[in-house]
């Protein structure tokens, strides 16, 4: 029997990397190289993809990017290091000395001593072209390559930062994160068309469901968060949700991400609105301060003017109007709407847009909707003569509805004729609670000013399209 | 037309909470109350669920829990505040003075001045019983109530902390987070049976797919991470994955979470193993230090001895053996296996368990598997006579395989006869890369010693069961 001693020995044998003969150059990300304080010629190694090549008589200039930042690292090399393989898109490894750049365009540059091409790129066949600013629509055809452009690189880094900011906002506020299920036997409250699922292939038995019951992809984690809000006073989830709607709009996807929260013992909509406003502002500020160059790129090239619009949203207190006031405002509008505004009918996108503009492009909460147009679990305001529930939507410039939420009906007798399990939750130590959901892609659209939702998600899914 | 001035006014009108007449008591979570430094009789308000009631002649003792910590807050009240509604499970709001507890069992207690029952709980009908330690199997029947027990409360807080720890590990290491898609047209590499999906209801057209192609639930985000690793040198994802396997084991679920990472420009398996070992150890340490009481509860009541086993894993360097060595060890074992170990055949759970035990219950990497039993994208070691690929699995005590990964075949000509799009990725600046995946539920099982995977996920999905 081989002993543990032998196993420990094998640690050394397994390495396929040759034992280094002299001190290797430190491997740095482009981001770390750009931010290096020590530029007195330290030897480093950088790996990445060529973003530009400029070959002069005696000097070769390259820009190398590895996705760690928008900015590329300038490589300066003796033209003897030039080769036909150094094309746009090729992957390279470069060793050299990190020095202060004589140019004002960058702080540091890498004086190359060795350039190794790792993977060739046939620039002619490559659908992303050197120095071209491809339209976002063009790039959508290439979900496997578009991340190599500046703009998608920036959006994806921002998405990653925004996700982290949202998680840390909730964690710092004492919320417990819950993975609400993706597959559910619950067909929700008609929040839209559902995807149903069954095993493919040989496990498929037409007459029998895999889970014994029909199973669907979730449209919201709300019910499952409500379950948890009977044990934890503050919970949230941040995961994918689905709609099988045949919608080709620039605001809808078949698969998108939602941030949802549920808070127990809330007294009023005010409590919820405060969390929503803080969430939006605090996380947007974090994104702005953690990736300023990436945000600047979006604001500069995709949505001119968005920087000012965003600042305007962040520095003003969000407004609050009732649904009834909103309908009044719409009725008095000089604008002609396709859908005539009327009390008791849901607001349309055109109405939402008008209301936001009317509010001076400050995000506005619309509260207290008619009972008849909101789901059964919304808390009855017991008002009259116009019967409303404690629901709230947040409308934001450019996007429309960003958040939706409300107080939940926690009173047993108000729900008595409804769903059995939902009722069960109200029998044992029921508490007033409320919550909200925010579409994460719309949040990114709102911050960045990106017009089409398909450009703020890595792999968009919508009717007739499921690339990769 | 209503002006913005009017809107601003409506902010004040909208609040349904009455304007407080005198300074309200500060609302504290149980966790914050327990950790309060100021115990000189500050007036506070606490909300939560009654975990115990002890009614004496002149004094009433309650324990109130709100999910913010395992420990409950002791409430001491004059027996005049007692009522028949103060039952196990009821939700209450208590106002009083936070004082230093005379007992040694807790630091602080709340001297109640006012107790308000928010929601009654019929303790007889409530399936969770006072003072009973229900078996985990019993609790699984009540996915909507089990979070109200100490043990599930602890597991869910740990799960939330572990998720945050994993995210911060990657963020601090410079990885970009990518939301890889849940719905995919890719049927992977036969990683198991798939769920196929179609719209339910009226959108369903038998002859036509919603996405124009058959669509499935993802079994792994690897391909999509590989796409991104052509632009970002370090990427990760942490999301749900699915298997439609008819497996009723304590290690399998139809829906589970995976942490997957992909790193560009890796030279050897050593690079990957280093990240895997650091990820496991750093995040486990974070969980241990962020929720020590919750972990202690699991280690004490669910898995006695697990504390020492975990410490043993954390303080030792993980071991490394080759697949070939592993088969040798198994062949020389005195144990009789159901499946005879043989070179070229995959390791079974019984083999994995034996290997871990043989290694002194230290996690062990098994590397360099036969080409024939690993997916096509694994990097060819070009060795002989036994042809292997650079794949790695990490086996851990109690669980077996926790991580699986490897170097990816980046060389175009090695893949030439394979998947078209996969090939496309290798044509334009291909780089050596590798990655791994870790089952998040198994990770929790490994740290906590929880035997059944269904107890470490809020809403387990498995054949014949999709509750809620």
Query: Using one digit for the tens of pLDDT, what is the confidence trace for B256-282?
Result: 999 999 999 998 999 999 999 999 999
Distance from CA of B341 to the nearest CA of A (A): 15
Distance from CA of B353 to the nearest CA of A (A): 15
Pick the closest to residue A151 from A308, A293, A304, A309 (CA basis): A293
* pLDDT confidence band for B190 (50 / 70 / 90): low
Distance, CA of A277 to CA of A202 (rounded, Å):
50
The tens digit of pLDDT for each residue in A239-269 reads 999 999 887 788 889 999 999 999 999 989 9
For residues A328-341, give the mean pLDDT: 95
For residues B130-156, give the mean pLDDT: 91
Determine contact, residues B447/B456, Cβ cutoff 8 Å: no
Q: Where are the alpha helices (DSSP H) in A59-117?
A: none
* pLDDT confidence band for B424 (50 / 70 / 90): low
Indicate yes or no: CB of A322 within 8 angstroms of CB of B10.
yes
Cα A139 → chain centroid: 19
The mean of the pLDDT values for chain A is: 87
Provide the pLDDT for residue B204: 56
SS3 B439: strand
Provide the pLDDT for residue A365: 97
Give me Rg for the CA atoms of chain A: 27
Provide the pLDDT for residue B426: 66
Provide the pLDDT for residue A11: 37
Residues in chain B: 468
The tens digit of pLDDT for each residue in A395-417 reads 999 889 999 999 998 887 777 75
For residue A322 the two structure tokens come to 């009732």
Distance, CA of A365 to CA of A318 (rounded, Å):
7
Facing A200 at nearest CB: one of B1, B196, B200: B196
Tokens 């808070």 label which residue? A263
ipTM of the complex: 0.90
Q: Is the pLDDT reported for residue B9 higher than 60?
A: no
Indicate yes or no: CB of B228 within 8 angstroms of CB of A156.
yes
Provide the pLDDT for residue A24: 65
Chain B CB contacts of A360 under 8 Å are: 4
Distance from CA of A2 to the nearest CA of B (A): 6
DSSP per residue, A167-233: HHHHHHTTPEE----SEES--TTS-S--EEEEE-GGG-BTTB-TTSS-EEE-S-SHHHHHHHTTT-S
Provide the pLDDT for residue B260: 95
Determine contact, residues B93/B47, Cβ cutoff 8 Å: yes
Which of A72-86, A198-212, A444-458 comes out lowest in average pLDDT? A198-212
E strand residue ranges, B246-293 = 255-264
Q: What angle do CA B214, A248, A182 make, to 5 degrees?
A: 50
Facing A67 at nearest CB: one of B231, B458, B467: B231
Which of A136-150, B43-57, B398-412, B433-447 comes out lowest in average pLDDT? B433-447
Indicate yes or no: CB of A233 within 8 angstroms of CB of B333.
no
* pLDDT confidence band for A52 (50 / 70 / 90): very high
Indicate yes or no: CB of A227 within 8 angstroms of CB of B332.
no
Chain B CB contacts of A31 under 8 Å are: 174
For residues B373-395, give the mean pLDDT: 91
The tens digit of pLDDT for each residue in B321-380 reads 999 999 999 999 999 999 999 999 999 999 999 999 999 999 999 999 998 898 888 999
Q: Is the pLDDT reported for residue B22 higher than 70?
A: no
For residues A121-144, give the mean pLDDT: 90
Buried b (16+ CB within 10 A) or exposed e, B96-117: bbbeebeeeeeebbbbbeebeb
Query: Which are the contacts of A412, defined by CB distance < 8 A and separation ≥ 6?
Result: A423, A426, A427, A430
Provide the pLDDT for residue B18: 40
Q: Is the pLDDT reported for residue A466 higher than 60?
A: yes
Give the range with max mean pLDDT: A15-19, A106-110, A373-377. Answer: A106-110
Facing B328 at nearest CB: one of A2, A8, A159: A2
For residues A180-197, give the mean pLDDT: 79
Buried b (16+ CB within 10 A) or exposed e, A238-276: bbbbbbbbeeeeebbbbbbbbbbbbbbbbebbbbbbebb
Provide the pLDDT for residue A283: 95
A380 forms beta bridges with: A389
For residues A141-167, give the mean pLDDT: 94
SS3 B366: strand
Determine contact, residues A399/A442, Cβ cutoff 8 Å: yes
Distance, CA of B99 to CA of B364 (rounded, Å):
51
Distance from CA of A428 to the nearest CA of B (A): 4
Provide the pLDDT for residue A177: 96
Facing A468 at nearest CB: one of B93, B186, B410: B186
Helices B440-448 and B269-290: crossing angle, nearest 10°? Answer: 60
Facing B466 at nearest CB: one of A183, A333, A410: A183
* pLDDT confidence band for A205 (50 / 70 / 90): low
Provide the pLDDT for residue B20: 42
Distance from CA of B267 to the nearest CA of A (A): 7
Residue B461 has, within 13 A of its CA and on its CB side, a CA count of 29
Q: Is the pLDDT reported for residue B180 higher than 60?
A: yes
Distance, CA of A403 to CA of A259 (rounded, Å):
9
Indicate yes or no: CB of B227 within 8 angstroms of CB of A143.
yes
Which of A69-78, A239-248, B16-25, B381-390 comes out lowest in average pLDDT? B16-25
φ, ψ of residue A47 in degrees (nearest 5) = -125, 140
Determine contact, residues A159/B179, Cβ cutoff 8 Å: yes
Determine contact, residues B378/B422, Cβ cutoff 8 Å: no
Determine contact, residues B371/B380, Cβ cutoff 8 Å: yes
A393 forms beta bridges with: A366, A404
Provide the pLDDT for residue B354: 96
Q: Is the pLDDT reported for residue A62 higher than 70?
A: yes
Chain A CB contacts of B15 under 8 Å are: 268-270
The DSSP symbol for A380 reads: B
Distance, CA of B10 to CA of A321 (rounded, Å):
6
Indicate yes or no: CB of A333 within 8 angstroms of CB of B1.
yes
Residue B101 has, within 13 A of its CA and on its CB side, a CA count of 17
Residue A264 has, within 13 A of its CA and on its CB side, a CA count of 32
Distance, CA of B369 to CA of A279 (rounded, Å):
48
E strand residue ranges, B122-233 = 176-177, 183-184, 195-199, 215-217
Query: Which are the contacts of A187, defined by CB distance < 8 A and separation ≥ 6?
Result: A194, A214, A216, B200
Distance, CA of A161 to CA of B176 (rounded, Å):
8
* pLDDT confidence band for A23 (50 / 70 / 90): low
For residues B443-457, give the mean pLDDT: 82
- Closest Cα in chain A to B50: A429
φ, ψ of residue A199 in degrees (nearest 5) = -60, 140
For residues B40-47, give the mean pLDDT: 91
Query: Which are the contacts of A199, defined by CB distance < 8 A and separation ≥ 6?
Result: A210, B193, B194, B195, B196, B244
Give me the percent of chain A exceeding a pLDDT of 70.
90
For residue B369 the two structure tokens come to 């598997």
Provide the pLDDT for residue B65: 97
Distance, CA of A350 to CA of A367 (rounded, Å):
18
Provide the pLDDT for residue B38: 79
pTM of the predicted model as reported, rounded to 2 decimal places: 0.91
Pick the closest to residue B365 from B308, B310, B329, B326 (CA basis): B326
Pick the closest to residue B147 from B461, B466, B455, B464 (CA basis): B455
Tokens 């193993």 label which residue? B273
């Amino acid at each position: 029997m081989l002993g543990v001693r032998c196993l420990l020995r094998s640690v050394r044998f397994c390495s396929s990397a040759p034992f280094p003969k002299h001190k290797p150059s430190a491997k740095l990300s482009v981001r770390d190289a750009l931010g290096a304080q020590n530029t007195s010629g330290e030897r480093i190694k950088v790996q990445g993809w060529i973003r530009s090549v400029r070959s002069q008589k005696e000097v070769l200039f390259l820009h190398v990017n590895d996705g760690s930042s928008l900015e590329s690292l300038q490589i300066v090399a003796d033209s003897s290091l030039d080769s036909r393989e150094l094309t746009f898109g090729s992957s390279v490894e470069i060793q050299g000395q990190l020095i202060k750049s004589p140019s004002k365009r960058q702080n540091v540059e890498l004086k190359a001593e060795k350039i190794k091409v790792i993977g060739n790129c046939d620039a002619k066949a490559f659908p992303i072209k050197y120095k071209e600013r491809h339209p976002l629509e063009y790039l959508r055809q290439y979900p496997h390559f578009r991340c190599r452009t500046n703009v998608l690189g920036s959006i994806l880094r921002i998405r990653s930062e925004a996700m982290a900011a949202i998680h840390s906002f909730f964690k710092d506020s004492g919320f417990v994160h819950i993975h609400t299920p993706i597959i559910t036997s619950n067909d929700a409250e008609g929040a839209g068309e559902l995807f149903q699922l069954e095993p493919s292939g040989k496990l498929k038995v037409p007459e029998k469901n895999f889970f014994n019951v029909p199973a669907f992809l979730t449209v919201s984690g709300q019910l499952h968060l409500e379950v948890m809000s009977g044990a934890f006073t503050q919970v949230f989830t941040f995961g994918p949700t689905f709609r099988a709607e045949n919608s080709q709009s620039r605001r809808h996807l078949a698969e998108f991400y939602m941030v949802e929260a549920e808070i127990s013992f809330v007294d009023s909509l005010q409590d919820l609105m405060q969390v929503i406003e803080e969430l939006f502002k605090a996380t947007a500020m974090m994104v702005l301060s953690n990736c300023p160059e990436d945000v600047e790129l979006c604001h500069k090239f995709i949505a001119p003017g968005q920087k000012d619009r965003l600042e305007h949203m962040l520095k003003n207190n969000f407004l609050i109007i009732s649904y009834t006031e909103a309908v009044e405002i719409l009725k008095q509008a000089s604008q002609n709407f396709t859908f005539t505004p009327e009390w008791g009918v849901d607001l349309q996108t055109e109405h939402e847009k008008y209301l936001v503009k009317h509010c001076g492009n400050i995000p506005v909460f619309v509260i207290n909707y008619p009972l008849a147009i909101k789901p059964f679990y919304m808390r009855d305001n017991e008002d009259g003569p116009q019967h409303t529930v404690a629901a709230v939507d947040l409308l934001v410039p450019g996007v429309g509805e960003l958040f939706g939420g409300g107080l939940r009906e926690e009173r047993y007798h108000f729900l008595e004729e409804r769903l059995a399990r939902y009722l069960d939750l109200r029998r044992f130590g029921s508490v007033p609670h409320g919550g909200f959901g925010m579409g994460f892609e719309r949040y990114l659209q709102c911050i960045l000013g990106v017009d089409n939702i398909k450009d703020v998600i890595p792999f968009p899914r919508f009717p007739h399209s499921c690339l990769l």
